[in-house]
Amino acid sequence: GAGVSQSPSNKVTEKGKDVELRCDPISGHTALYWYRQSLGQGLEFLIYFQGNSAPDKSGLPSDRFSAERTGGSVSTLTIQRTQQEDSAVYLCASSPAGGQNYGYTFGSGTRLTVV
């Protein structure tokens, strides 16, 4: 597609349930990033995928969070046993390569609300 696509755009879930958030990057972009945007807190890095290399998971806040990227394209971020503090907008971005000089293209995000 022309841009980074994320689904769903909004998700309301009950505390303790698992959720899956999907990101479809721009075709041909080898790098994919997940960030979390909490109210008044800016953007928090979660995880980075580059081609077939092992992902950088250093930003995942707990072991309830995991992500995978299948076939070097679509990525899924999974949050298990959701907590209210997980409520945020989850943003996905992609870039042509793993270097910063290319800049990121962001999706519109998934707004997660845990009730």
Partner 1 sequence: AQSVTQLDSQVPVFEEAPVELRCNYSSSVSVYLFWYVQYPNQGLQLLLKYLSGSTLVESINGFEAEFNKSQTSFHLRKPSVHISDTAEYFCAVSDSGAGSYQLTFGKGTKLSVIP
* 99 belongs to the binding site for partner 1 (CB under 8 A): yes
For partner 1, the closer of residues 76 and 96 by Cβ is 96
Out of 11, 56, 64, 73, the only residue in the binding site for partner 1 (CB under 8 A) is 56
d(CA 2, CA 84): 34
* 105 belongs to the binding site for partner 1 (CB under 8 A): yes
| 76-to-21, 40, 42, 81, 92 alpha-carbon distances in Å | 6, 25, 22, 16, 10
HSE of 28 in the Cβ direction (CA atoms, 13 Å)? 4
Only one residue has tokens 């298990």, namely 80
For partner 1, the closer of residues 48 and 65 by Cβ is 48
* Region from 11-19, 68-76, 77-85, 103-111 binding partner 1, contact rule CB under 8 A: 103-111
* 20 belongs to the binding site for partner 1 (CB under 8 A): no
We find the least distance from the C-beta atom of residue 98 to partner 1, in angstroms, to be 5
* 98 belongs to the binding site for partner 1 (CB under 8 A): yes
HSE of 113 in the Cβ direction (CA atoms, 13 Å)? 5
> Of 18, 23, 40, 26, whose CA–CA distance to 109 is shortest?
23
Residues that bind partner 1 (CB under 8 A): 4, 31, 33, 35, 40-43, 45, 48, 50, 56, 91, 93, 98-101, 103-109
